[in-house]
Amino acid sequence: MNFEVFPLIIGWELTLECNMRCRHCGSTAGAKRPNELTTKEALDLCDQFPDLLVQEVDITGGEPLLRKDWTIIAGHLQDLGIPVNILTNGLVMDSEMIAKMKELDIRAVGLSIDGLREVHDRFRNYRGSYEKTLNAMRLMQEAGIKYNIITTVNKENLGQLPAMHDVFRDLGVRHWRLQPLIPMGRALQNPGLELNDEDMLALGNFIRKQAADPDPVNPDIMCSDGLEYVKPGIGGPWRGCPGGIISCGIMSDGRVKGCLSLPDEVCEGNIRDRDLWDIWFDPASFAYTRYFNQEDAGPLCTGCEKLGDCQGGCSSSSYTGTGIFHNDPVCFFRAEHNQNKFT
């Protein structure tokens, strides 16, 4: 089977180095990976993107702003005409960093806030991080840099979402991305954070309630990691995991996988061994999404009326939660279908 669609979106883990030790971190970020890509290797990789019709590079980590050559890499991508987004925890965001982002014409910044002050600081294992992150947000507002707030929803902050919504609205936040916690990495060392069906029902109902509120000052809630089907009628039905279909992730040591949220062992190759073109168009690559048929569904998703749309949900959630693909254990639709169990 020939695959003819290009990787329009690249998620790039620039480094695994991080200045936080968050309780939910799926990649257990902290120290750099052994043998991370050199500046030259990173720039050579950038040069491969135009032929692959890459339309967007989302730079993440670890904490990508700790990598000293991030400005060189981001600048080279801009020279190639490829928009750059940055995902950061905000700790090193100061006026100087903001000026660099403005100079580089960074398209948007994703800023992580995982609860109100006490919960966010505990979740991120860093006292005072909530205020530092809010300060980073204010600096971006003053500079006119587009941003969105990213919240990993879990047991500890689920009940705070309405209050967080009000705080963000009052602070002028325009876009708020919600993603359910995926139990991998450091999250496995902190059991009890993951959501169950009842929690997913509460989360989905919160999203739909906010989506139905026409007040233009409310943050626009965006959904990811399997929540995409919660807001009906927006962009049509969710078509499942885009990893290996229109997007892929590149690890800081050159390994390639469908999504950076997948465990490290689910890789398709390394750009040190083969060009990204060869990895992407290899008929054996990304088989779990490219060659899906409904018979591949796991027991949690078999027979579901949404299976043809979502293909068994988020690949990362499915694989980490059940050991197989197309078997997402955290599903709002299933929770909604079975909600009589909770009433």
Q: Mean pLDDT, 10 residues at a time, over the chain (343 residues)? A: 86 98 93 97 98 98 97 98 98 96 97 97 95 97 97 96 97 96 90 92 94 92 88 68 96 97 95 98 95 94 92 94 94 85 59
> Tell me, what's the pLDDT at 302?
95
> Tell me, what's the pLDDT at 341?
63
Q: What is the pTM of this model?
A: 0.94
> Tell me, what's the pLDDT at 233?
52
Q: Collect all residues with Cβ–Cβ distance below 8 Å to 148 and sequence separation of at least 6.
A: 108, 109, 110, 111, 173, 174, 175, 176, 177, 222
> Tell me, what's the pLDDT at 320?
93
Helix axes 161-171, 197-211, angle to 10 degrees: 30
> Tell me, what's the pLDDT at 291?
93
| Domains of the chain, CATH where assigned | 9-281 (3.20.20.70), 288-340 (no CATH)
> Tell me, what's the pLDDT at 125?
93
